[in-house]
Structure 1
Amino acid sequence: MVANMVDVVRIPKLGLSDYGDLVAWEFDTGDRVEEGDVVAVLESEKASAEIEAPASEVLLEQYVEEGEEIAIEVGKPLAVIGEEGESAPSVAELEDDGGSDDGRSSADEAAASPNAGSAGAEANGGTAAAAADVKATPRAKRRANDEDVDLTGIDGTGPQGAVTENDIEAFLESGDGASAGGGDESDSDGGSTADVKATPRAKRRAEEEGVELSRVDGTGPQGAITEDDVVEFASGGGDHGPDASASASGESSGDGLTVTDSRELTGARKTIAERLSESAREKPHVMGTREIGIERLEEVTDRLQENGVDVSLNDLVLHFVGRTLEDLPEFNAHFEDGEHRLIDEVNVGYAVDSEKGLVVPVIDDAPNRDLEELASERRRLVDAVLENEHEPSDLQGGTFTVTNVGVFDMDVSYSIINPPQVAILALGRRKPMPVERDGDVEFERGMTFSLTIDHRALDGADSGAFLDRLAEYLEYPGRAFDAV
């Protein structure tokens, strides 16, 4: 049971993705912290989040190492603070408290409940009946049910001998747990993956990485392959395959080329890579382009600036993109669970090239903002990203994304859609474009707009309609700004 005087530093509700890195501890064990001090920094989903101390006490114990990748779960304990010299509880005790700091243990609740563990007892006969008598925390029971683990075969280390979620995890990582739920695979051909002893996590990771488990050397109990073994193999960390030597600088790759530098993806860069790879695999991307004149739009920008309105041409483009999304709501949408979900709010993401990679802050209610307000919000978001001072909330709620590749002197970009959105628009560089008028060819300033769509939700005709409507706004902005 957790001492009542200890305060737990837990992960609050952040709106980040499922996994992230604890990139920094701002205090060491034994340091005194004040309530509200930032004690740790988490990084996930292209954003950083600061974790604050809940009270003014001494940092007694850190449960996560700096640089460690962890599951971003609300209530997950990261550290404890308390009076100097006070003993720190174990992670198992904290987790079994169910996220509260009042010293109440889920194991105690399980022991007090006469029906604890009885769910599903009839389904498995005597085994389930025996499991019903096992003292276990609710989290342990859920995990055992998910992994098809028999609780009667696990020694509990929790209060009063209760089985905790950590006990389930230890069992799964052990040689005995590696084969849980997989007895039917023993008749497979010799040398197959089914004959390889590996933990459930290792099997899932191997499937994600496309790794053949029979090629991996296990370092777990009884030679079982662990998730770390799979990760090391996939990254070429050992002598497991022809490309393993490519991980070291100066050594040769599998095709005989010399590797001068090998850079492991971590933190935000790793998250970006995973999300965009997933989008490229799952979404059938189709791109269409159109050259649109911007001379009148530049004139409007100049007139607004002369009248004291601090806006750029890109701000006007963002405004008109928002209006186009209002006109064609099928683009202002998400594709999730096989459904094309149209969104009421029009929140335009604006991609920013930062030191940590491409980050997409979101301008809420883009078409209905005052132009000066929209421009101010865009500048604030861009500055926050470049200074790495943006909040997770700055990146949430996007319904469509705009990326400006013109700053790199590019015209066209086959951009990857930011999931779960259904389209992304790339702005090319400003350039002279030939325009035919009454048989004469003249040059006017314009830009190439590249629209990439998710073909599951949208078609080529939809792309044409979007670019046509956007062109009407950009080439004849006076129709929309009667007062200008």
Structure 2
Amino acid sequence: MPRLSLTMKTGTVIQWFKKEGETVEKGESIVEVLSEKVTYEIEAPESGVLRKIIVEEGMEIPVDTMLALIAKPDEDLNAIEIEIKPSLTEPSKETIAVDTQPSKPSSAKKRIPASPAAKKIAKEHNVDLGCVAGTGPEGRILERDVEQHLEERVKTPRIREEIPLTGIRKATAERVATSFRTAPHSFVIMEVDMTEATKIRDEANISYTAILVYSTAKALREFPVANSTLVDGKIRIYEDINVGVAVSTEKGLIVPVIWNADEKSLPKISSELKELVEKAREGNLSKEQLTGGTFTLTNLGMYNVDMFLPIINPPEAAILAAGRIVAKPVAAGGETRIKPTMTLTLGYDHRIIDGAPAAQFLKKAKESIEQLNCSN
């Protein structure tokens, strides 16, 4: 399992393109793996025969763990010993024996002690006695045990379907859980006058998300602490401002990245964002388009969400969440007018950013949005 990014610790095998015994050519894609929401195809390092698949589909393993063995058709592999380290389990030793027949499961069925009455009720209600706790002598299952099991089963909600937590969804679950567990989240919230942004949206057909990326990148240039990560006990502030945008797809949440967003015009960001969103939903993003992010933006305004508290995309220092645009009365210059407003929420890692700098950054992003004009 190769290390495909600086932060990669484990990878999951998604799909093998070849079966054991098939010929492979050097440079040919043989397996697809997933790490940190990104899928990669790994090429065969040499030509030969795929003699042994060590890591099956769906298994998550640490980097540098052997995935498979490619060898000559007649090469002896019996002496090769490898170490398999499944994630979150103790390492185990396996000696490779390519021609060994798989062991057959034992046909012997463990006898479960139960009374005749208990067996009768279990059969009538299709109850697996192996799932019933016995209260009789030496754990013998009695009639009352089956009845108690049936009562508990009735109270259990019916399951519509079970969806395995795999692929991008599993990677997302692990990342957000790690973020919420390790980073002390804090939030600052502001309302933004979207009058100028709405004009640009209508006149230039530029999305609000593109406008937010453009304005946020300008604010990050002035407040670089928000453009940072915490790595090995050090705050790493980046020169490049690479804004990731959360995109919902059928497979799960993807965060494509607009590199050097502060150096690009609003029309350029708009066109690049459209391309990234389309590729994300088609599953055609490149490695560069999915890595290198230094700040993340998430927008749920299109779903009529007023505001929400986002989870930081680790190991980044902050994330900006945008809600929907709502017409509200705004007092300014002694007058009250109805204006389009949006609520912005900055979620930040309090280990890296204090409250005052977080508020200053969000204020700058707000001003950047409110002072937009068509020349941007």
**TM-score normalised by length of structure 2:** 0.75
Partner residue of 1:288 out of 171, 188, 199: 188
Give the corresponding residue for 1:246.
none
1:88 to partner: Cα distance:
5.6
Letter in 2 for 1:389: N
Give the corresponding residue for 2:344.
449
Cα distance in 2 for partners of 1:291, 1:431 equals 10
Contact 1:430–1:446 (CA under 8 A) maintained in structure 2: yes
What is the percentage of aligned positions where both structures have the same residue?
34
Letter in 2 for 1:18: K
Contact 1:61–1:88 (CA under 8 A) maintained in structure 2: no
Cα distance in 2 for partners of 1:293, 1:255 equals 54
Cα distance in 2 for partners of 1:91, 1:280 equals 46
Give the corresponding residue for 1:107.
none
Give the corresponding residue for 2:258.
363
Give the corresponding residue for 1:29.
20
Change (3 A) 1:319 1:170: same
Give the corresponding residue for 2:39.
48
Alignment of 1:3-42 (within 5 A): 11-15=1-5, 17-42=8-33
Letter in 2 for 1:408: Y
1:32 to partner: Cα distance:
3.0
Cα distance in 2 for partners of 1:91, 1:351 equals 48
Alignment of 1:79-478 (within 5 A): 79-83=68-72, 85-87=73-75, 89=77, 92=80, 169-170=92-93, 256-260=155-159, 261-304=161-204, 311-478=206-373
Report the structure, 1 or 2, having the larger strand content: 2
Contact 2:214–2:265 (CA under 8 A) maintained in structure 1: no
Change (3 A) 1:384 1:59: same
Cα distance in 2 for partners of 1:267, 1:441 equals 51
Cα distance in 1 for partners of 2:307, 2:170 equals 26
Runs of at least 5 residues in structure 1 that lack an aligned partner in the other structure: 1-10, 96-165, 172-237, 242-250, 306-310
Q: Spell out, residue by residue over 1:159-211, the C-alpha distance to the aligned partner (whole angstroms, 9 max, x if none).
A: xxxxxxx9x8449xxxxxxxxxxxxxxxxxxxxxxxxxxxxxxxxxxxxxxxx
Letter in 1 for 2:59: E
Change (3 A) 1:451 1:353: same
Alignment of 1:69-84 (within 5 A): 69-73=60-64, 76-83=65-72
Change (3 A) 1:253 1:67: farther
Change (3 A) 1:169 1:81: closer
Contact 2:27–2:45 (CA under 8 A) maintained in structure 1: yes
Contact 1:434–1:441 (CA under 8 A) maintained in structure 2: yes
Cα distance in 1 for partners of 2:277, 2:79 equals 39
1:259 to partner: Cα distance:
4.6
Cα distance in 1 for partners of 2:131, 2:240 equals 52
Report the structure, 1 or 2, having the larger helix content: 1
Over aligned residue pairs, what C-alpha RMSD do you find?
Answer: 3.0
Change (3 A) 1:19 1:13: closer
Instruction: For CA contacts below 8 A with separation 6 or more, give which structure has more relative contact order.
Output: 2
Contact 1:252–1:259 (CA under 8 A) maintained in structure 2: no
1:48 to partner: Cα distance:
0.7
